A and B are shown apart, each in its own frame.
Chain A
Amino acid sequence: MRNRNGWLIGIVLLIAFSLWVDLSKNIVIYNPFSDTPLVERDVNIKLGLDLRGGLQALLEADVPADTVVSVEELTNAKNILQNRANALGVSEIVMQTAGDRRIVAEFPGVTNPEEVVATLKQTALLEFVDMGSTPVAAGTAINTDFGITAPAATTDTGETIYHTVMTGAGLQTASVSRSSSGEYQIAFSLKGDATDLFGEYTTTHTNQYLAIVLDKQVISAPVIQSPITSGEGVITGNFTPEEAQTLAVQLRSGALPIPIKVVQSRTVGATLGEESIRKSTQAGIIGMVVVILFMAFNYRMPGIIADLALVCYAIFTLMLFKLIPVTLTLPGIAGFILSVGMAVDANVLIFERLKEELRAGRNLRQAIDLAWSRAWSSIRDSNTSTLITCAILFIFGNTFGASMVKGFSVTLALGVVVSLFTAIIVTRTFLHTVLDRIKFTEHPSWFGL
């Protein structure tokens, strides 16, 4: 700790930065030369479903247990499900693969899980959509009038609703082929009545755009160059061979690359969450105040410094929660509160050692150096074992989509790491800063001796 003032300045800057993040809803850093935002970040605390209410569903590949599901199949299925879910208009949907055959889907604020689940389980919806003379980029999500009883030109939010000319139900076959220039494309043929409909439409709408839309997302939007009356056509796009193959399969079967089923579903009402937040915040504050009083009473001056470090700990951890961001669940909050109790453990170890060294007749500087260096091995080894447990909890929670278990392990592990920093570096820097200004020999009682 030679460069003590350097550390002190660093810590003060870190506190200032953390407070800024902690107290902001979103943070913006401007580029000083052009006045444009350089970094813009929403730093609202992310609440888990158990706190804000909503639906969490665990989906599993519905194939025999010994069938291997490839990572690609699972990822494709996840992406398709994500598209379907986006059509529901729920914000902040999270969809993640979990383990090698499961997908976790989270829908904040949703209270009608039966509808959501039904949407997820539906087969892929292919539509041929009349875009008029508007070109549209692949990947754009659009609204169509298919499935809506009373057609309107725009949605409530002012987005245009396009007309669906035909759905995938009219398809006879779909397969991958190569164009004359060697590009991958999907060749399709239509059923009898669809052929007539499509022929008529393409005749009257030549030179307009026709979007091929899968699950409300534009795959490609070619211009109708000539009427298609034969019932045969191709969909072109910049497809890789795999994409073309996946799309052809989806068009044929109208399904996910793998069948899925819901194996776990959790719905939490919003009121329960609000109450939990209020109560656990209250518990956290009370717990922290008691720990602060206890430390000050028990260790006197070093205790008060450890309390300052504990407050820093809370400020830093909250900053990390908001920046990373960590999704807070109820057990996650409990893990955080528990880590407040454990955060002072490193300080307790050091201070007990400090007392011992002082009693052994060493001067204060020596005692402090010895206390820190000798307590370190036990701090290191004991916290490593807690981190090992956290890692195992995380893996377990991740495999089974148990976000509560995962949340707990993440907050506890973060707490351990941050507490090591505050208990060792912050406390020591503060302590030295104070000791530069007082004489220990005049105030032994400040150290509880």
Chain B
Amino acid sequence: MNIIKNRYVYFLISLLVIIPGIIFMGLNWQQTKTGPLKLGIDFRGGSLLEVQFEGTRPSVEEIAALYKEFSTAEQPLADPIIQSLDTNAVSIRSKTMTDETKGLIVAEMESRFGSKVTVENFTSVSASVGGEVTRAAAWAIVFAALAILVYIWWAFRSVEHAYRYGTAAIIAMLHDVLVVLGTEAILGYYLGWEADALFLTALLTVIGFSVHDTIVVFDRVRENSNILRRIEYEKMVNHSIVQTLDRSITTQLTVMFTLLALVLFGGESIRHFVVILLVGIFSGTYSSIFNAAPILVVWENREWTTWFKRKEEAAAI
């Protein structure tokens, strides 16, 4: 099996997956004017109220009208986003409101719609905290990447060009981050999925897993580079990938099994989170085999010097 030989095909496949994601990030940005993803209230600030009506649920218009009555200059609540959930529940997203206001609104719902109202979920995040969380989330990703880069550099210090391994792992990791962000952007665009704190958790887990997988492949390159000194670098890397392929696939499958069980039986509240994990972990395995190790070869051969003259050379030969 020669994976290294077709490395540019695999790079192309990665691009074909990433580019649509980037396009949808752009579309989201155009739509929301705030960023490439639809952000949940954890990051953007705002309130989410999920209530269950004992009797029939009131119409969307009735709820919107009720919210409008409680809207003030300091606490603008007009134009909430109202979604009907299963049976008689609704979720209502609005600008940030206090617990006091929420209490008043629920009491008003009970008296006006003549039905007992159970609050299943109420989350309220002030806009300033939301902004801070977003910045901290970005830093968390950057710190994770840097810490891992430094660790790999250190762990591979015995090998020639140790920094290449760290950098290649980070590039593969960025690949997975882009795949995950792209998936979220597409799902956000079509299904209205919002990125929340759990999405960030999934993203960071994918980062950890991606590097975890890459290191396993690199570890074999590290080992082989000491034993198989006579063999060409390209062949040695390919040999390492093939040697670890069984393991990569097996681990991928076991993780997929557990995640699939969660998607199918784990309930609605974490489905979003698990789907993102599933996509990211698949991407993590792909990138460690088809991106990270081939990048080492591209670097070793300094192939970028010939990227744009390939045709001329071919003609010359």
Residues of A within 8 A of B (CB): 50, 57-58, 60, 111-118, 262-269, 271-272, 275-276, 279-280, 282-284, 286-288, 290-291, 294-295, 298, 330-331, 334-335, 337-338, 340-342, 344-345, 348-349, 352, 355-356, 374, 377-378, 381-386, 388-390, 392-393, 395-396, 399-400, 402, 404-405, 408-409, 412
Contact = CB atoms under 8 A, between A and B. Distances in A.
24 contacts: A112-B103, A114-B99, A114-B102, A276-B267, A280-B266, A280-B267, A280-B270, A283-B266, A291-B254, A291-B257, A294-B253, A334-B262, A334-B273, A337-B266, A338-B205, A338-B258, A342-B251, A342-B255, A348-B250, A381-B219, A385-B208, A385-B211, A389-B208, A392-B204
Interface of B: 42, 52, 98-100, 102-103, 118-126, 128-129, 132-133, 136-137, 140, 143-144, 147-148, 151-152, 155, 197-198, 200-201, 204-205, 207-209, 211-213, 215-216, 219-220, 222-223, 243-244, 246-247, 250-251, 253-262, 264-267, 269-270, 273-274, 277
Given A267-B122, A272-B121, A331 B270 contact: yes
Nearest to A339: B258
B125 A264 contact: yes
Contacts of A268: 120-121
A111 B124 contact: no
A335 B246 CA distance: 25
A168 B270 CA distance: 49
A271 B256 CA distance: 29
A393 B147 CA distance: 13
A269 B118 contact: yes
Give the interface centre of A58, A345, A409 by most chain B CB atoms within 10 Å. Answer: A345
Given A388-B148, A402-B133, 7 more contacts: A114-B100, A280-B267, A286-B264, A287-B258, A342-B212, A388-B147, A402-B42
Interface SS of chain B: helix
Given A298-B250, A352-B247, A392 B143 contact: yes
A184 to B, nearest CB: 39
Contacts of A58: 129
B207 A389 contact: yes
Contact of A381 (B215, B244, B262): B215
A331 B273 contact: yes
Contact of A349 (B205, B247, B258): B247
Nearest to B200: A405
Contacts of B137: 396
Give the interface centre of A284, A287, A409 by most chain B CB atoms within 10 Å. Answer: A287
B237 to A, nearest CB: 15
A443 to B, nearest CB: 21
Contacts of B100: 114, 117-118
A269 B257 contact: no
B198 A404 contact: yes
B99 A349 contact: no
